[in-house]
Chains A and B, each alone.
Chain A
Amino acid sequence: MTRAFGCEDREQLVALLYGEADREEQAAIEAHLATCPACASEYAALREVRTTLTAWEPPHVELGFRIVRDSQPARRWWHVPVWVPAALAAVLLLAVGAALSGVQVEYGDGTVIVRTAWSPAPERAVQPAHAAVQPPAAVVPVAAGMSEAEVRAALTDLEERLRAAIAASRPAPVASDRDDLLRRVESMIEASERRQQRELALRLAQVVRDMDAQRRADLVRIEQGMGELQGLTGRQAEQMINYLMRTSAPR
């Protein structure tokens, strides 16, 4: 049975408008539009609105989004082995020592050679081309593929040997050096004391000069005040004295 369509069913016009009415519904709506000018006019208006809506175009923009997956996880600083900072610190210390003491570092053939120059090598001076005469050298075998433990052990060994070499190269103080040092310190202390006494005397003299100048200025003002007081009449002098007594009385 064909369902009737009335003016109160206008919302159903969109089904016909968008082609989603089934055959029965379509027939009912079209039958009503044929006999109802108001609904027919509204339907025509809605179709015109749809035509107008086609004019609304979004702007053309370049999009081109892509999802990109990282090929490998980023290294994070906390993945650095804990011994690395200590090893770096040791190397830094050694570098400073090398800069101060003339340590030579050579590397090649899978080894690192640290050669100290603290020990005198008179033989080299007379025989510079003789390869067999060299200062003591610390050799650290480092090769590709070594484990962390092996590298750490090698660095520790190097550090110990270099510490020993530094300690051995430091000249021991002798008795005559100590006496000379003591005398120099004593003379420096005496010179410092003399300098301090001289400065103290200068400052005291300056203070005395300032106090004397202030005293002289005060005396001049007192003499001027006394002269003014002498110029007053008896009544004025009495009033001035009373005023001075009032103002100087303890409160």
Chain B
Amino acid sequence: MNETPHLSPQEIIDLYKTEFGTGIQDARITERGEGVRKTKGYNVWIRVDRALLKPAINKLINIRFPHLAVIAGNDLGTEIELLYIFSVFYGTKFGEYMVTIGIRLPKTDLTVPTITDLIPGALISEREKQEFFGITVTGIPDGRRLFIPDEFPQGVYPWRKDETGIKPEMVRELWAIGRPKDRPAPPVPEKKPLQEESAAEGKKEKMGGAPE
């Protein structure tokens, strides 16, 4: 199988800019040093329009099939940002880095196309975003609730920061719930603290440690 050779992060950004041009709203590389020797690790951040999401992911698949780590989400007030976090070039030593393709959905139109036809494993992450943010993933094969129990009220989206988020009366404070009252606490009395014995031991040690 002929694969493209290992590309550096800047080369990936150049490829994206030549293909999509103005569709790319923001592209940057962050660099960090890992470990004692500070080997370079890179993160590539690319923000595109919503319509260019699948062409951008297709392009990454043609470069080298990536590993989708997670689809992360964020509530920015008037928009919801979805970050598709991939890692490419697995297998080369110190050659794997993360490529994040981000899109922003306005809260007036919260739809995003599904990528399960390109990457079937994205189903779990897309279901999670659907139930926690209230976005609609068009074309998702299985749109049921995943983590939230079925008795949870329908219009409440836990990760949102606006009025559809978690209301204070839904929050249960576990630290305020004390011990259960119907059980003896503790059922059998504890042993007496060994204060007399340890005092006697202390005296003996002092006597033993006196200069001989």
User: Are A and B subunits of one complex?
Assistant: no
